[in-house]
């Protein structure tokens, strides 16, 4: 009898060895998979894989969750700003629970060196995973503004590579296309693009039996026409866990009422905001930034809690940069410009609950 049992085990083991290997060869996935152990007490350990419930981003226990953190800038411009050490500082000292990894495609980014850029993306995914915070994988298209332009032909292959490697990783969030723009780039065009990418990401999750990750989709005119999916009939993307992106720059954008209303209708993620002008430069307007961020904290038609990432954690000589020029090379992660000071205070208050009278002054709230 004993012999029979061990023979059965042996048979099963050999069977699995051959079929599992075969499956790995066929899909190329199993061997690539990366499992993360999120540190105890970290945001991802506590909240797990996020999903979307109606208009609200929620955690694994279906509790509303609101992330607050920063975005990188194009890392080809500020290489020294993105290291394991700087990201650790952003998590431990700035209390970020999300980092947006903005990978420019043109502008000297991915298309100039796909290998290095993909590796940087993987580094950021790994570091955030090891720290237990969420990571937004941003395909940062900008010019041209059409996500289906030939310049962006690698999008399906890029997302497949990342989605296969990180299938089932609870901390990874996908952003399909930063700020679609241009006169011909309407919601139908963006939908056509999104329909080509979303099944790729879902396919990877399905392979490992994981839930579909949260996917952020850009909206027309630099993420300003956020109501596009519902403006002309219901044309929302027909998949689970989709959110629509909205970006504001406080010294330029003042269409508070439109967004106040949209937040009652669609799940929105602010993957990029600036305290300054839309150029990324000029004077900061902190009272106006307060107005938008208070709106994200429930002062809107749906009492939606909106997650946000600030543009940007870098030391490029521009006022939207959190740090002064030269700070990264010297590893001075707290050498903040006025914008960085405000942003660090905001994120800390959001994620620790400790009040700071410099940010979120209730007197600045938008009154519809």
Q: What is the pairing mode between strands 215-217 and 134-140?
A: unpaired
3-class DSSP state of 315: coil
- Which residue number, 44 or 98, has a Cβ lying nearer to ligand IDC? 98
Marked catalytic residue, from 130, 161, 175, 272: 272
From the list 2-10, 275-283, 295-303, 326-334, the region that binds ligand IDC by CB under 6 A is 275-283
Q: Tell me if 361 contacts ligand IDC by CB under 6 A.
A: no
Q: Phi/psi of residue 289, each to 5°?
A: -65, -45
User: Which residues 294-323 are close enough to bind ligand IDC by CB under 6 A?
Assistant: 311, 316, 318, 320
Asked if 279 is part of the footprint of ligand IDC (rule: CB under 6 A), the reply reads: yes
Q: Which is nearer to ligand IDC, 138 or 161 (CB)?
A: 138
Cα distances (angstroms) measured from residue 248 to each of 8, 71, 291, 293, 329? 63, 14, 11, 10, 29
CA distances from 270 to 201, 245, 283, 297, 307 (A): 21, 6, 21, 12, 6
State which of residues 24, 45, 52, 278 lies at the interface with ligand IDC (CB under 6 A).
278
179 included as an active-site residue: yes
Taking the complex as a whole, how short is the minimal distance between the CB of residue 194 and ligand IDC, in angstroms? Answer: 18
Min dist CB 271 to ligand IDC, Å, is: 9
175 is catalytic: no
146 binds ligand IDC (CB under 6 A): no
- The encoded tokens of residue 56 equal 């609200």
Q: 116, exposed or middle or buried, with CB in 10 Å at 0-12, 13-18, 19+?
A: middle
Residue 39 interacts with ligand IDC (CB under 6 A)?
Answer: no
Beta strand extents in the chain (DSSP E only): 51-53, 56-58, 68-72, 98-104, 134-140, 172-175, 215-217, 242-249, 268-274, 308-313
Least separation in angstroms between residue 145's CB and ligand IDC is 11
Work out how close the CB of 320 gets to ligand IDC at its nearest, in angstroms, rounded to a whole number.
Answer: 6
The whole-angstrom separation of Cα 84 and Cα 68 is 19
CA gap 330, 225 in Å, rounded? 40
Nearest approach, Cβ of residue 302 and ligand IDC (Å): 25
Active-site position among 130, 179, 277, 318: 179
In the region spanning residues 166 to 195, those forming contacts with ligand IDC, defined by CB under 6 A, are 178-179
Catalytic residues: 179, 272
Residues near ligand IDC (CB under 6 A): 73, 107, 142, 178-179, 222, 247, 249, 272, 278-280, 311, 316, 318, 320
């Amino acid at each position: 009898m004993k012999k029979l049992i061990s023979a059965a085990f042996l048979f099963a083991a050999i069977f699995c060895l051959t079929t599992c290997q075969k499956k790995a060869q066929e899909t190329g996935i199993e061997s690539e998979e990366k499992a993360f152990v999120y540190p105890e007490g970290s945001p991802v350990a506590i909240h797990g894989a996020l999903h979307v419930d109606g208009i609200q981003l929620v955690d694994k226990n279906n509790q509303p969750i609101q992330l607050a953190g920063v975005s990188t800038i194009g890392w080809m411009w500020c290489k020294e700003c993105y290291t394991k050490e700087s990201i650790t500082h952003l998590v431990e000292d700035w209390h970020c629970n999300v980092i947006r990894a903005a990978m420019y495609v043109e502008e000297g980014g991915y298309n100039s060196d796909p290998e290095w850029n993909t590796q940087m993306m993987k580094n950021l995914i790994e570091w955030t995973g090891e720290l237990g915070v969420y990571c937004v994988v941003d395909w940062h298209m900008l010019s041209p503004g059409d996500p289906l332009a030939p310049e962006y032909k690698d999008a399906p292959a890029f997302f497949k590579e990342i989605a296969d490697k990180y299938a089932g990783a609870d901390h990874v969030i996908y952003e399909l296309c930063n700020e679609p723009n241009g006169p011909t780039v309407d919601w139908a065009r963006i939908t056509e693009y999104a329909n080509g990418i979303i099944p790729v990401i879902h396919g990877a999750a399905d392979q490992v039996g994981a839930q579909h990750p949260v996917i952020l989709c850009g909206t027309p005119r630099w993420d300003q026409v956020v109501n596009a999916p519902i403006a002309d009939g219901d044309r929302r993307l027909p998949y689970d866990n989709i959110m629509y992106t909205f970006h504001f720059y406080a010294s330029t954008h003042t269409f508070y009422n439109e967004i106040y209303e949209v937040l009652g209708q669609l799940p929105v993620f602010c993957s990029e905001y600036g305290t300054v002008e839309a150029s990324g430069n000029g004077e900061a307007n902190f009272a106006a930034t307060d107005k938008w961020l208070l709106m994200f904290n429930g002062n809107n038609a749906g009492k939606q809690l909106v997650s946000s990432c600030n543009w940007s954690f870098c030391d490029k000589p521009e006022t939207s940069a959190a740090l002064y020029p030269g700070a990264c090379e010297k590893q001075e992660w707290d050498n903040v410009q006025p914008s960085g000071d405000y942003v660090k205070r905001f994120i800390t208050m959001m994620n620790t609950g400790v009040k700071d009278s410099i940010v979120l002054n209730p007197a600045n709230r938008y009154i519809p």
